[in-house]
Amino acid sequence: MKAALLIASLFLAFPCLADCSKEAQAAVGFMNRYLAYLEDVFERRSEQSVADWLAADGQVAPEFVAAYRQLEAEGYAHDSELGWGVDLLLDAQDHPDQGFALAACSEEPGVVLLRGVDWPQFEVAVWVASPEQGSQVLGAGLVNVPAHARASRSAPTADE
């Protein structure tokens, strides 16, 4: 009973955690499935493109797939070999090995910030539709996430 009261009081003290728990669950699940997909590609168990993987994921909204395809095409028009030079969903060139967990709820409705389990400094934003709409993923990283709601990026220091 005391533990339940403690947990409830924490959610009252941090209302953003209580408000975005369903979105956070969908976001964490999506990004961890994406990391598994990347591992399959790396291990050559899959040759499926990211766009096709997104389209096949039942939790991804069609507008997210379309926005990904458009941003990817713009990147390859900019540089035919490297595109934008980053993974568009991770907004980075690398990623945590052990997956993601909730870092914070954003002030932007439906956007949650995730952090790496084994790399807590690594953060990525994911936009999820409200649970009433079925918690579809609408964007991640650089794709379909408002610029002001994205994870901040800073250059590593000499100590890192």
Question: What is the model's pLDDT at position 152?
Answer: 84
CATH number of the domain that residue 47 is part of: 3.10.450
Asked if residue 160 belongs to a domain, the reply is no
Rounded Cα distance between 7 and 75, Å, is 45
Given a cut of 80, is residue 123 above it in pLDDT? yes
Which residue range is the domain that position 103 belongs to? 16-149
Asked if residue 118 belongs to a domain, the reply is yes
Asked if residue 9 belongs to a domain, the reply is no
Rounded Cα distance between 24 and 110, Å, is 9
Question: What is the model's pLDDT at position 8?
Answer: 37
Question: What is the model's pLDDT at position 133?
Answer: 67
Across the chain, mean pLDDT equals 84
- SS3 of residue 80 by DSSP: coil
For residue 92, give the nearest of 119, 57, 52 by alpha carbon: 119
pTM reported for the whole predicted model: 0.81
Asked if residue 50 belongs to a domain, the reply is yes
| Both structure tokens of 134 | 């079925």
Given a cut of 50, is residue 2 above it in pLDDT? no
Tens digit of each residue's pLDDT (9 = 90 or more) over 71-118: 999 999 999 999 999 999 999 999 999 999 999 998 889 999 999 999
Asked if residue 6 belongs to a domain, the reply is no
Asked if residue 7 belongs to a domain, the reply is no
Asked if residue 53 belongs to a domain, the reply is yes
Tens digit of each residue's pLDDT (9 = 90 or more) over 39-49: 999 888 888 99
Higher pLDDT, 80 or 11: 80
